[in-house]
């Protein structure tokens, strides 16, 4: 299945108000797609529909093989295992090490074998350039390193699709560029990335396919 996302004539509602109207879009494996638009333009609402946090009722919509229009509550955890989600504010557990932050997510998504957990955490930390930091606590890391842990956490289940919601919003320009390069490189190994931002400095560093959200409409530029 090349299309990880396929929306046809979908309207997204937030508190019964349409925030995105008549959206038709496809995203394939290995694509990097910016979601541009000011705060409140519908970017985050779109992402929330993809991980089952915001129900859809119009049109047709699939993500990673799941029908979002008819999505059952019990299916949402299985859908989320196919996704990696990266937030602006890291959302790390401050009372446990980096290793245990990743292990917590793995246990919650069904990993049981301690040796396999250890092996996968090692692989992921190498991928985000944090090998050797597994015993550090979040407060001992810089903001950029914490965001790389967050990306590593998103990668533990080898997701088909990574949803990054303003992942550089709390970072300085140089660190933002590092995070952007890391996410773009993940596309080379087959992941698709949706990168929501309103930071034009980040966007102008590396141009790519773009969905622009404005006044409940989405326009596309390649």
> Residue 168 in contact with residue 179, Cβ under 8 Å?
yes
- What lies within 8 Å, CB to CB, of 51 at 6+ separation is 76, 79, 80, 83, 85, 163
- What lies within 8 Å, CB to CB, of 112 at 6+ separation is none
Please say if the pLDDT value at position 68 is more than 70: yes
What is the CATH number for 213?
3.40.50.300
Q: Which domain holds residue 176?
A: 32-44+80-221
In angstroms, what CA-CA distances link 164 with 45, 52, 59, 73, 88?
13, 15, 25, 23, 8
Confidence category of residue 77, pLDDT binned at 50, 70, 90: confident
Please say if the pLDDT value at position 1 is more than 70: no
83-120: pLDDT as tens digits? 999 988 888 999 999 999 999 999 988 899 999 999 99
| Domain contains 183 | yes
CA distance 118 to 110: 14
Tell me what percent of the residues of the chain surpass a pLDDT of 70. Answer: 100
Confidence category of residue 149, pLDDT binned at 50, 70, 90: very high
- What lies within 8 Å, CB to CB, of 210 at 6+ separation is 33, 34, 35, 36, 203, 220, 221, 222
Confidence category of residue 164, pLDDT binned at 50, 70, 90: very high
> Residue 202 in contact with residue 177, Cβ under 8 Å?
yes
| Domain contains 145 | yes
125-144: pLDDT as tens digits? 999 999 999 999 999 999 99
pLDDT given for residue 188 in this prediction:
86
Structure-block tokens of residue 149: 């842990």
| Domain contains 63 | no
Please say if the pLDDT value at position 175 is more than 70: yes
Find how far residue 205's CA is from the centre of its chain: 20
Q: Is 1 helix (H, G, I), strand (E, B) or coil?
A: coil
| Domain contains 190 | yes
pLDDT given for residue 170 in this prediction:
85
| Domain contains 11 | no
The number of folded domains in the chain is 1
CA distance 163 to 63: 12
| Domain contains 1 | no
pLDDT given for residue 16 in this prediction:
86
| Domain contains 123 | yes
pLDDT given for residue 213 in this prediction:
94
27-46: pLDDT as tens digits? 999 999 999 998 888 999 99
Please say if the pLDDT value at position 199 is more than 60: yes
| Domain contains 27 | no
């Amino acid at each position: 299945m090349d299309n990880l996302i396929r929306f046809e004539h979908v309207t997204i509602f937030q508190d019964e108000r349409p925030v995105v109207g008549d959206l038709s879009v496809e995203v394939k494996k290995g694509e990097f797609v910016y979601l541009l638009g000011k705060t409140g333009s519908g970017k985050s609402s779109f992402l929330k529909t993809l991980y089952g946090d915001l129900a859809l009722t119009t049109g047709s919509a699939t993500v990673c093989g799941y029908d979002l229009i008819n999505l059952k509550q019990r299916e949402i955890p299985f859908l989320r295992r196919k996704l990696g989600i990266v937030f602006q504010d890291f959302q790390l557990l401050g009372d446990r090490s980096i290793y245990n932050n990743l292990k917590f997510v793995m246990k919650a998504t069904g990993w049981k074998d301690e040796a396999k957990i250890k092996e996968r955490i090692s692989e992921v930390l190498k991928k985000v350039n944090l090998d050797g930091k597994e015993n550090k606590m979040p407060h001992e890391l810089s903001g950029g390193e914490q965001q790389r842990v967050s990306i590593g956490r998103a990668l533990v289940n080898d997701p088909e699709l990574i949803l990054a919601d303003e992942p550089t919003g709390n970072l300085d320009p140089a660190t933002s560029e590092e995070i952007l390069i890391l996410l773009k490189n993940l596309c080379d190994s087959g992941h698709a990335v949706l990168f929501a931002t309103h930071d034009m400095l980040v966007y102008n560093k590396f141009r790519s396919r773009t969905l622009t959200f404005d006044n409940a409409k989405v326009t596309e530029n390649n």
